[in-house]
Amino acid sequence: MTEKFIKNEQLNFIKKQITFIKDSKNKNVPKNVLATVIDLANDKIMDLFPHLSDEQSEMLDVSKLKTESDYEQYIQHLSEYLLPFPIMTEQQLKKMFPKQKKLKLPDLSNIDHRQLTYLSWNDLRSNRKIIIYELEGKMVGIECEFSSTTKKNLCSFCNCFGEVSQISTVTKTKKTKNPDYYRSIGNYICADGSECNKKMTNVDYLEGFLKDSLGI
Ligand SMILES: [Zn+2]
């Protein structure tokens, strides 16, 4: 049996490609156009994984899928290969924020770790949002100031339109000429972290944001 190899955001990306193919079918586009749509989707999916085994390529191949139930089974099957978000203990989480003596922790048993690209929760008492992510093999965490008011806008992380709230964090990257300079970064992100995780299709922005915030 193949090891788990698909990340949450990659499965979301694949689902998006499948929706696109199904939409094209429903619109009855000409056969050659549909074939191109499927080829492109296949290429984009394969591009997500630079080191695929033959078995994995076979599993990801969308070109052989025909019926609605083929597509459903395809996603169902891939879901079995989802890499869960690393399970962290309360101690491990607390250790990431040594200065926060009263850090509020989430109810970890209530979180579906399979559908997570990043873990986040709000500490409403201190108006903070905490974000945890596995960056280049290492678990990192940041605290952001967080506004509880929401509005409809694009989320910086998942790049989807929805109910967002503002977070801001101070970067640790100092300007060389002025060592006291710290830049504050503001972002609108989905107010509901679990919804955001269902919509994440790539991590470029999130990783850039975390690197800026952490000064790495
Ligand atoms: Zn989002």
**pLDDT greater at residue 196 or residue 2:** 196
Taking a C-beta distance cutoff of 8 angstroms, is the pair 173, 215 a contact? yes
* Residue 190 Cα to ligand 1 middle (Å): 4
Give 200's pLDDT tier (boundaries 50, 70, 90): very high
* Residue 189 Cα to ligand 1 middle (Å): 5
- Whether pLDDT at 183 is above 80: no
> What is the arithmetic mean of pLDDT over 98-110?
84
d(CA 127, CA 106) in angstroms, rounded, equals 15
* Residue 147 Cα to ligand 1 middle (Å): 15
Tokens of 205: 């922005």
Which domains, ranges and CATH numbers included, belong to the chain? 8-79 (1.20.1280), 90-214 (no CATH)
* Residue 20 Cα to ligand 1 middle (Å): 20
* Residue 87 Cα to ligand 1 middle (Å): 22
> What is the arithmetic mean of pLDDT over 181-205?
90
* Residue 9 Cα to ligand 1 middle (Å): 12
- Whether pLDDT at 173 is above 70: no
* Residue 155 Cα to ligand 1 middle (Å): 5
Please tell me the number of Cα atoms within 13 Å of 132 on its side-chain side: 22
Tokens of 211: 């690197």
Give 133's pLDDT tier (boundaries 50, 70, 90): very high
- One-letter amino acid of 27: K
Give 48's pLDDT tier (boundaries 50, 70, 90): very high
* Residue 164 Cα to ligand 1 middle (Å): 8
The reported pLDDT for the residue numbered 174 is: 57
> Tokens 């679990």 map to which residue?
194
Determine phi and psi for 2, rounding to 5 degrees: -70, 145
> What is the arithmetic mean of pLDDT over 108-118?
90
